[in-house]
Structure 1
Amino acid sequence: MFRTVCRAFRSLLQSLFRPLFASRAPGGFRTTGRAARNVSRPPRLRAMLGGTACVLALTAGLGACSPTFDWRTIMNNDNGYTVDLPAKPGNDQRAVQIDGTPMQMAMQTAEAGDAVFAVGTVILPNDSEATQRAALDFLRTGLARNVGAAPDAHAVQIPLAAGGKVPGLEMKLSGEAGSQREARTVYARLVARGRHVYQVAIIASKPIQQEQVDQFFSSFQLY
């Protein structure tokens, strides 16, 4: 089951960014509850390349999801956030090109119901507003293009663990993905803070309950 979710979200990102796999993600996160150990993606996932095959893998992964939502709190100290995920997470890292600049994107993913829940963190070369904006635009347009939708977003406030909030973007996109034109709904929040830009997303093949969406997004806090 874990390999299914790894293939599913990695496939989605493949169709968004199409970079080569970079390296396995570092450690540095911990969980509370029953998931109290790091989980890494299996080596065979290094071979998951190719846009069409990736979308098909996403379809297969979502179709095989378990309906159980076993929420646990994940604290990612490397990238400075805490979030509730509905299953034991996996972590991965890949290279992306944003405006011609190579960057790293770290990912944590978990699968439940008919959806993949994920937090992607782009590590920026600097914390300038222009660099942050370029990364936000890259993620926003990539998510929309993946399902053939307009990159519409509205403002939202993202909470800080220490109190206060920072401005971010929220999106809900519906459309068809892949050569088979299969229905997908994407719920996402994007936010920049310092030298990190975060993509907090749910990719679903069927509608999911709003309480699950709210649980995920309301739990995401930045250090």
Structure 2
Amino acid sequence: MSRPVRLGATLCAALVLGAALTACSPTFDWRTIMNDDNGYTVDLPAKPGNDRRDVQINGMPMQMAMQTAEAGDAVFAVGTIMLPNDSEATQRAALDFLRTGLARNVGAAPDARAVQIPLAAGGKVLGLEMTLKGEAGSKHESRTVYARLVARGRHVYQAAIIAAGPLPQEQIDQFFSSFQIF
């Protein structure tokens, strides 16, 4: 008689565990977004929302257009700053602003490494890649930030994932490998 009880308890435990894992798994409904206004294409895991923010870079007011999508405990975003000119100094200042801002948001060092960012027409351009871990917000919640930054012409781009914890590598790869600038 004890055998059916154990089997039933084991089956029940497996079903509860399976339901819990399913409830915790974010749904990634990937879709390709072509942003002609800001010059990029990217795959996002859900229907994106749009936002604009005012930023000050070296005392100059600029606007950052944002396209964001949420999946589970992660936000996937592409931000674009339209620069007043395409000088290397202006591009560098905007990239530095984004790099240090991301790091400051989670209390981490603004470490970055060089990475190649694909162009939609073929070829690549040099950009920066960052993976940051720290605490964010007034509640000091743990956050992992994956980001790529790149400048091209009068645009500076920030492709980023902000998550409550580490994400599966295939989700990170899907987002970043799809990010291409015009």
Q: Under a length normalisation based on structure 2, what TM-score does the superposition of the two structures give?
A: 0.85
Match of 1:71 in 2: 30
Matched, 1:187 2:146: yes
Which residue of 81, 86, 95 maps to 1:136? 95
Secondary structure class of the residue paired with 1:130: helix
Match of 2:15 in 1: none
Matched, 1:114 2:59: no
CA distance 1:66–1:118, shift in 2 (3 Å): farther
Paired letter, 1:76: N
Does the CA-based 8 Å contact 1:66-1:114 persist in structure 2? no
Does the CA-based 8 Å contact 1:111-1:117 persist in structure 2? yes
CA distance 1:66–1:103, shift in 2 (3 Å): farther
Matched, 1:97 2:56: yes
Does the CA-based 8 Å contact 1:144-1:150 persist in structure 2? yes
Q: Distance in 1 between matches of 2:70 and 2:139?
A: 22
Secondary structure class of the residue paired with 2:127: strand
Q: CA deviation digits over 1:53-98, x for unaligned, max 9?
A: xxxxxxxxxxxx9810000000000011000000000011121110
Residues matched between the structures, number = 159
Q: Distance in 1 between matches of 2:59 and 2:69?
A: 30
Secondary structure class of the residue paired with 2:29: coil
CA RMSD of aligned residues (A): 1.1
Q: Distance in 2 between matches of 1:168 and 1:178?
A: 28
Secondary structure class of the residue paired with 2:100: helix
Which residue of 125, 145, 149 maps to 1:166? 125
Match of 1:87 in 2: 46
Post-superposition offset of 1:181: 1.5
Percent identity, please. Answer: 86
Paired letter, 1:173: L
After the TM superposition, which segments of 4 or more aligned residues of structure 1 sit over 3 Å from their partners? none
Paired letter, 1:212: Q
Which residue of 153, 160, 167 maps to 1:208? 167
Q: Distance in 1 between matches of 2:102 and 2:53?
A: 17
Q: CA deviation digits over 1:118-141, x for unaligned, max 9?
A: 000011000000000000000000
Q: Distance in 1 between matches of 2:114 and 2:74?
A: 24
Post-superposition offset of 1:179: 2.5
Q: Distance in 2 between matches of 1:181 and 1:101?
A: 31
> What runs of 5+ residues in structure 2 fail to find an aligned partner?
1-23
Post-superposition offset of 1:177: 1.1
Q: Distance in 2 between matches of 1:183 and 1:135?
A: 26
Q: Under a length normalisation based on structure 1, what TM-score does the superposition of the two structures give?
A: 0.70
Secondary structure class of the residue paired with 2:95: helix
Which residue of 158, 167, 172 maps to 1:199? 158
Post-superposition offset of 1:178: 2.0
Bigger proportion of residues as strand: 2
